[in-house]
Chains A and B, each alone.
Chain A
Amino acid sequence: MSTIHARKFVSADPDKCAGCCVCEYACSYEKEKTFNPLKSRIRAVRLDTVINMSLTCRLCEDAPCIAACPRDALTQSEETGIIMVDEDKCNGCGWCIEACDYGAIMLHPERKVVFVCDLCDGKPKCVEWCPEEALDFVTADVLAQKARITVVKKLFQEALKTKAT
């Protein structure tokens, strides 16, 4: 088995994210056939006018939400890493919500059980709809690769310009 991390998750680029919440609408429509950010698995944060970012489940390797659940209602898929909620076991106590550092797991306004990103069977709608292409469906390794490429490009931007001409 390859030791490369295969789990892909939805990641937002804060430089591109415009805080428009299209991801929230796309998610609530895909999952619940309605428009309501409270039913979205991804939430936008506008910290101040120039800082925007959307957040959703990071598929932690050692997921604290699972450890926090006293009723064993949460399990993690070995294959994809998504957190699965057993709605019969979940009583909406919210310990998993407290445990999550990313605010990615939320209490459903009507069903009163928690819900979390399930990656839309590997084709996340939020990524498809994001008008700024700020959302990416990637593995942690590819994120790191991209960061390295970006920073090196930045470092050598003058040299690259010369090359282009």
Chain B
Amino acid sequence: MMEDRTLFGYAGRILRIDLSTGKTRVTPLSEEDAKKYIGGIGLGMHLLLSNSKSGIDPFSPENPLILATGPLSGTIAPTGGNGHAFVSKSPLTNGLGEAKSHGFFGSELKRAGYDAIIFEKRAEKPIYAWIDDESVQLMDAKHLLGKSPQETEDMVKDDLGDYYIRVASIGMAGEKLSRVACIINDKTRAAGRTGMGAVMGSKNLKAIAIRGTKDVAVAKPDEFMEFVKMLHERMKGPATSKYRTLGTPLNVLVHNSLGALPTRNFTNAVFEGADNVSGEYLNERFVAKIDGCSSCAMRCEHLAVVPEGPYKGTTTRVEYEPLWAFGPHCGVDRLDTIIKAMDLCNYYGLDSLSTGNIVGFAMDCFEHGILTKNDTGGMDLEFGNAEATVELVHKIGKREGLGDILAEGVKRAAEKIGKGAEKYANHIKGLEMTGYDIRGLKTAAIGYAVSFRGADHNRHGAYGVDLKGTVDRFKVEKGRSKFVIDIEDLYTIIDSLIVCKFSRGVYYKEFDDLARYYSLTTGIALTPEELRRAGERINNLGRLYNIREGLTRKDDHLPAKVMSTPIPDDTVSKGSYISKKELDFMLDDYYSHRGWTREGIPTLEKLRELGVEDLSYIVQDKIGRPEKTK
């Protein structure tokens, strides 16, 4: 029913659930917070900062798990109608954890009448949260233990007797506190990175089921619909054609030709088997259907079915990153095992990108004699052993044998294995690497080093200027950080609204278009500059959270092999790597452009400028005397 409302787009309400007692409380979302933090990761980070103490263990009941949607959620806004984000302290990085997902879950949450849910404390026994508009119940989840997210979704729908309910859940990996566990909704969509599934597992929260029946209203319906129609038209054009045709696996051959395809755990940057795992080959032989999320006008979800062989019939959604992680990164050129491994990650509820990284790391350790057949349970973990990648995912998912150590992520696994294993652990801040060989992508490398959630191409997208040749990608130079910062500020807005990054090309005048979109939806006047500023604010929020949790300049590092192993292949990027000196130069340049100190601390002046003086307590004793600015 239409209510009197001041905020459109937003539900205007934040729900808190104390998992230890089942008590709930609803607080209003103020217009000021809406405008400052937008939604999604921005709102989630704000709620995390103001609802947690510093220094807590990510698995302690004191670490809240925050689920947030954005103002566009639940509307027809293409790609924006469907997103949600999980935010919490990451068990991988001990800093800010955040992961987004799309599908249908986020819109249902909005219709239930909430912009965000804060899951507090820990349930005594396994439960799932059943959020039916106003009614919130914690249901027994004993029968769901050990079930995959896909099975869980079906069983919860059966239990509750409604097949249009939306469910997000964890698998065995999350239950067993694997630090690379994800949260899966709508069967194939994952809030993958930074171990949010493990935080959920630590709360004994097996699943979140939502039924939302309320209307979602926008402030200026007619103009909004016109704007959406325009976006629909743009989405049929070249800006999104990559995602509608070959999809992200297109990257395989592109990266390979540029000597930027990390191969065999960053031993090489060119993969001899690339043709067999290319997007072209995948689409010709494996892709059965391309789906879309709720209210999307692009559709990108390439569903691949293995047509023959031992894994015949295996069906999963394919993207470049996990394909890379279980393919070139492990020296594997078989799409059937890659698809099987990805499917198993969905089954166990593992982040497929981190898991593929872990398998490649274990293989590198095996090649260097750090792991032997004694450790692997007789498994031959040489690079290229396709069957072994599948077997190892089973072990990681169940935390069996070597899999128990590997489920901790490469950083902790290397510490436990010892014998110099850390030389092969490619991570930043504890989060596993992604499929860009940044040894020869030196603008992107800055973005990777400073990313507040660890190794990530999606916080900055700065590989774009490198790959397109806008800059000399093998060079480190002053001012390069500007590219990174501009995209970072845009990307935090994309993740806060939430719209899909695949749609980024259709906002021709980025902040102008997005600010208009925001205002038509919410009725809150917001200029493009104010929106950019919000993007900057949210980036600073991520930084501030990490500082509060003890991270320093030292944590803005690059993966071990990126700094130790020059690209050996006979290709354009031959010999390229990143030295300590280059990294320091990059950080100095980046911090100064951000208006931070040389140690990477946002100044009090910066906090004032961004209107987050309330967070001064985080930086006060770290800045010492106010610095002189140039």
Binding site for B on A (CB under 8 A): 18-22, 25-26, 29, 32-39, 46, 48-50, 52, 109-110, 129, 131-132
The answer on a CB contact under 8 Å between B298 and A131 is yes
* B261 contact set on A, CB distance < 8 A: none
The bracket for how many chain B residues form the interface is: 35 or more
Q: Mark B496-512, 1 if CB is under 8 A from A, else 0.
A: 00000000000000000
The answer on a CB contact under 8 Å between B221 and A29 is yes
* B365 contact set on A, CB distance < 8 A: none
* B290 contact set on A, CB distance < 8 A: 18
Give the docked Cα–Cα distance between A49 and B297 (Å).
Answer: 17
* Sample (17) of A-B pairs whose CB atoms are under 8 Å apart: A20-B299, A22-B76, A22-B297, A25-B81, A29-B221, A34-B2, A34-B215, A34-B217, A35-B81, A35-B216, A37-B164, A50-B289, A110-B1, A129-B76, A129-B232, A131-B78, A131-B299
Select from chain B the residue with minimum beta-carbon distance to A50: B289
The answer on a CB contact under 8 Å between A33 and B295 is no
Select from chain A the residue with minimum beta-carbon distance to B79: A20
Give the docked Cα–Cα distance between A39 and B297 (Å).
Answer: 21
* B232 contact set on A, CB distance < 8 A: 129, 131
The answer on a CB contact under 8 Å between A131 and B297 is yes
The answer on a CB contact under 8 Å between A25 and B305 is no
Give the docked Cα–Cα distance between A100 and B297 (Å).
Answer: 30
The answer on a CB contact under 8 Å between B217 and A35 is yes
The answer on a CB contact under 8 Å between A20 and B294 is yes
Tell me the chain B residues, 70-121 only, with Cβ under 8 Å from chain A: 74-76, 78, 81, 104, 111
Give the docked Cα–Cα distance between A50 and B295 (Å).
Answer: 17
* B291 contact set on A, CB distance < 8 A: 18-20, 46, 49-50, 52
Give the docked Cα–Cα distance between A36 and B1 (Å).
Answer: 11
Binding site for A on B (CB under 8 A): 1-2, 74-76, 78, 81, 104, 111, 164, 187-188, 213-218, 221, 225, 232, 235-236, 288-299, 301, 303, 305, 315, 317
Known: A49-B188, A131-B78; 19 extra A-B contacts, CB below 8 A, are A18-B299, A19-B291, A20-B293, A21-B104, A21-B294, A21-B295, A22-B295, A25-B76, A35-B74, A35-B217, A36-B111, A50-B288, A52-B291, A131-B232, A131-B236, A131-B296, A131-B297, A131-B298, A132-B299
* A33 contact set on B, CB distance < 8 A: 221
The answer on a CB contact under 8 Å between A36 and B216 is yes
Give the docked Cα–Cα distance between A46 and B292 (Å).
Answer: 11
Query: Among the listed B104, B187, B296, B298, which residue makes an inter-chain contact with A49, where contact means beta carbons less than 8 Å apart?
Result: B187
Query: Among the listed A21, A26, A50, A132, which residue makes an inter-chain contact with B303, where contact means beta carbons less than 8 Å apart?
Result: A50
Select from chain B the residue with minimum beta-carbon distance to A33: B221
The answer on a CB contact under 8 Å between A49 and B303 is yes
* A32 contact set on B, CB distance < 8 A: 215
- Min Cβ gap B72→A in Å is 10
Give the docked Cα–Cα distance between A27 and B301 (Å).
Answer: 24
* A35 contact set on B, CB distance < 8 A: 74-76, 81, 215-218
Known: A22-B76, A22-B297, A34-B217. A49 touches B315 (CB 8 A): yes
The answer on a CB contact under 8 Å between B2 and A109 is no
* B292 contact set on A, CB distance < 8 A: 18-20, 131-132
Select from chain B the residue with minimum beta-carbon distance to A38: B213
* A110 contact set on B, CB distance < 8 A: 1
The answer on a CB contact under 8 Å between B75 and A50 is no
- Min Cβ gap B58→A in Å is 32
- Min Cβ gap A40→B in Å is 11
The answer on a CB contact under 8 Å between A18 and B296 is yes
Give the docked Cα–Cα distance between A33 and B8 (Å).
Answer: 14
Query: Among the listed B1, B81, B217, B235, which residue makes an inter-chain contact with A131, where contact means beta carbons less than 8 Å apart?
Result: B235
Give the docked Cα–Cα distance between A33 and B298 (Å).
Answer: 24
Give the docked Cα–Cα distance between A33 and B78 (Å).
Answer: 18
Give the docked Cα–Cα distance between A36 and B73 (Å).
Answer: 12
* A29 contact set on B, CB distance < 8 A: 76, 221, 225
Give the docked Cα–Cα distance between A36 and B11 (Å).
Answer: 13
* B317 contact set on A, CB distance < 8 A: 49
* B75 contact set on A, CB distance < 8 A: 25, 35
Give the docked Cα–Cα distance between A23 and B115 (Å).
Answer: 24
